[in-house]
Amino acid sequence: MTLYSKIIGTGSYLPPRRVTNDDLAAQLAEQGIETSDEWIVSRSGISARHYAEADVKSSDLALQAARRALDMAGMDANDIDLIVVATSTPDNLGGFPSTACALQRKLGITNGCAAMDVQAVCSGFVYAVSVADSFIKSGAYRKVLIVGAEVFSRILDFKDRTTCVLFGDGAGAVVLAASKEPGILSAKLHADGSYADILCVPGSANGGTLAGSAFLYMDGPAVFKLAVSVLEKVATEALEMAGMKSSEVDWLIPHQANIRIMQSTAKKLGLPMERMVVTVDQHGNTSAASIPLALDQAVRDGRVKPGQNVLMEGVGGGFTWGAVLARM
């Protein structure tokens, strides 16, 4: 019998503090930096984002999203046999113990299930789904909790209006389970380290101090150009792997980074804008959390229905990019 993996539960969580463009503009004005709602919306499509409080970690956001996904799946946390957390803002410097292990503890899981983090920045969720899908199809695991969780507000330079207006905090989760019916139809991943410098956090720990900058750096035009180029290609690859055409896609859920990149991808795939899930306007760019956040919102408001084909794709620092085609 052929074994498949299928999404059986989704969940998401946004920290309570909502920051509108006007709120952010007022904050930046205190530092002598000018921006406006019109300036931000025209360049990104973002109107608001959420910020976590200072004592809240990625695993705290992940916990809330995970609980909601488990509840939808009708599962207890101890039913999970693998946890994969995609994050670029782990709980601890150096990334260990992993945020996945922190989430395991907070969920009260005592079954000794495997837990690991995946680092592919904004492509992290797509990478994590691909990893979990492979494990399930191999027979190694049967019920996997996948979470994208970020507190990007911690690495933003609020003196740089070109980046600080773009990002927000949040978490999204799915439960992926072994199934007799096709769920994950295809997955395609890529990376090109020669583009590492156009989107990065260049600092590092050295002798107990910080060497370099701990703030996010982005060459906006270079990232935009590369993202537009690779997203359509990897989406087409994923469709070809599944023997499908773009016309058979019910919903496109791209990484929520910039509305212009998202619209360009949909247009190149020949998909109408009304078949693309958009949350970037209210969430900003939540990196690895953006795709599962958007998926959960569309599932819960009834847009994404069982049996529909959903194409998810992301691009992020590394440079990494990938796409997953799923039948819900």
Residue 101: active-site member: no
Residue 255: active-site member: yes
Query: And the tokens for 224?
Result: 């935009």
* H/E element, 29: helix 21-29
Return the closest-CA partner of residue 258 out of 54, 44, 31: 44
108 sits in the region (left: phi over 0; alpha: psi -120 to 50; else beta) called left
50, 122, 164, 258: which is the annotated catalytic residue?
122
Residue 285: active-site member: yes
21, 258, 285, 309: which is the annotated catalytic residue?
285
21, 50, 101, 255: which is the annotated catalytic residue?
255
The 3-state DSSP class for residue 159 equals: coil
CB neighbour list of residue 315: distance below 8 Å, 6 or more residues apart = 122, 123, 226, 227, 230, 231, 255, 257, 321
Query: How far are the Cα atoms of 9, 13, 133, 281, 328 from residue 300, in angstroms, in the given order?
Result: 10, 13, 23, 18, 13
Locate tokens 């016309």: which residue? 247
CB 28 within 8 A of CB 35: yes
CB neighbour list of residue 204: distance below 8 Å, 6 or more residues apart = 210, 211, 212
Active-site positions read 122, 255, 285
